[in-house]
Structure 1
Amino acid sequence: MQFGNILTAEGWRLGEIHWEGGRIKRISGEQIDPDANAHPRILPGFIDLHVHGGGGADVMEGGEALATLARTHVRFGTTRLLATTMTAPDDHIRKALRDIAAYMQAPAPLAAKVLGVHLEGPYINPGKLGAQPAYARTGLIEELDELCSLVPIRLITLAPELSGHMALIRHLSERGVRVQLGHTLGSYEEGVEALAHGACGFTHLFNAMTGLHHRKPGMVGAALAHAEYAELIPDLLHVHPGAILTALRCIPNLYAVTDSTAAAGMPDGDYRLGEQTVTKCLGGVRLADGTLAGSTLTMDQALRNFVSLGLSLAEASDRLSRIPADFLGLGDIGRLEEGAAADFVVLDPQLQLQAVFVEGRSILGGA
């Protein structure tokens, strides 16, 4: 049992949340404005669909690195995540996918749950790599089917303008894999066409894609005009606050991701991002040439950043929990209601993290 201001699907309730067998059994209490008291705020656990690393570990390392990053991010309120790969040689990608599959069969205790994989590349435009290594290429249906047989791939980022990718988007969509558009030089028209073929989101909106111009709206224009869902990195470094507010007005289900690297939760210094070295300094992560290379963002800070831009705590919470869960079609996480997983975080009135529970088990703080 946990007492506090509980954010339920029907609004705030001051009372108790009870669970059994990892599921919420009952939420009691009366509806009340949480600002009317000093009790803790209880929110659904955060769900991060774009995680490359944390705690000094990188997804592409496989093995113990997966446990390290999952243990790191749960300390910041992330209760579920997608292990996100990098563009790399084929054998490196396959090894990483097999290691993720093995980890999901025997996950570490006291850690965020790994829901599956976000395959970011190699099916991206070589002219828009961002911090991705130079192994970009077109994808084939048979190849993607093989990769999907290795591990649950829930989300794939690709560039729609590459030859054959419209058919690939259609195929992936039909087999239940979510497709996001990213690392792309595609036009507005190609973005709209990709959405018509089944693409359903945009990867780190504004970053590594063609920008908005009034005569060439670009991929950003396609997102702002037509997207229901898009992910965005709200570290206030990757995207200007004004652009974030623009996206919030245009895209109903904009949601937060960290795009975090091994440097997340670590001091300044050099870390790995796939096969590349990145440097953490002044709150960011960059390649040697100064290119932004993922982030050091954690989801609790993403929540505070959204609130600092004027979002209510309830709306900010939705964009870190319910919306990413809905995007993956998972109705039993990302919300606090009877029957849902007992994944939740406890924050003080200043939105500092006090406790984290995963399936009712206290991971950080709590009883």
Structure 2
Amino acid sequence: MPSIISELVDSGRVRYIIKDFPLDNIHPEARAAAVAARCAGEQGAYWEMHNELFAGQSEWGGLGDGAATVFATMAKDLSLNSADFAACMKSGRYDAVIQANQDEGVTLGVNGTPAFFINGFPISGAQPYELFEYAVGLAEQGTLADAYVSADEDAAQAQAPPTGPVEVDTEGAYSIGDEDAPVVMVEFTDYQCPFCSRHFLETFPKIKADYIDTGKVRYVFLDFPLTSIHPQAQLAAEAARCAGDQGAYLQMHDVLFGRQDEWNGRDDAGQIFNGYARELGLNGDVFAGCLAEGKHTAAVQADLEHGIALGVDGTPAFFINGNFVSGAQPFEVFRGAIESLLGNPG
């Protein structure tokens, strides 16, 4: 949340509204905490109490009626009028509005917390800041609705995500690592996807150092361009393959992700890719011809269709020895999955 406040709210890009959704059956003190924040708000300290409640959650969570004493101490520490705060807590005057918030959330389909709506479009769960930045950017461009339409269309085409190992066809795909490695990790990627870029920059290097370079993992690259929201992604995937024709797939792959901000959203992305090819020492005319004639268009689309058939509906998506892992997960998630497959659980 600090990043959302500093980067999106304080900059004037976002107005942030908080509504209450206490899950009483598993968090019995949550409703009283919501009241405490509102009672502090009467004295101009809603946000201060909000922050204290989350920072000191371990001090009052699970205390039952005893949580009220902690809330009173927090109010005192915030230099609030203790008598007024205590009277407010006992008054019940916020019971109806908190319940109305919860009822509204249920009507909107909320069934857990945190839950967010950006210009009316839902985002569920404690997502990384990059997702909110991305969604706000789409909203500012007026294309946020398109992303949800695309997701709905993909979901309609896609199978349900697999719950067990599946067979992923990797014949002819680019890969790195020992061909006989005990673990095969397949990534379905979109070169214009910010989460794929984050995976490449933050997590992939650790996977490569610990598992690919040590012969434990063969890493396979498959394409999944979400062209309705990433219009240059298809061409970028073809650019990587055109570079691959000259033995430089991985080098182009790395450049495309490492310099994503240079070509993202650009109508002249093809010319930029031609420039990258020259920088990599490739035959520029051969590369440009490959890209212009769409030599690898069908192959990229075949990957996309294969992914949809497997249940992929977003990027990045991974299959580790056929086991599905969704999203730009932290390295620890991949390490746990790989070690388990290597016979080293825990």
TM-score (norm 2): 0.23
Structure with the higher strand share, 1 or 2: 1
Write 1 or 2 for the structure with the bigger share of helix: 2
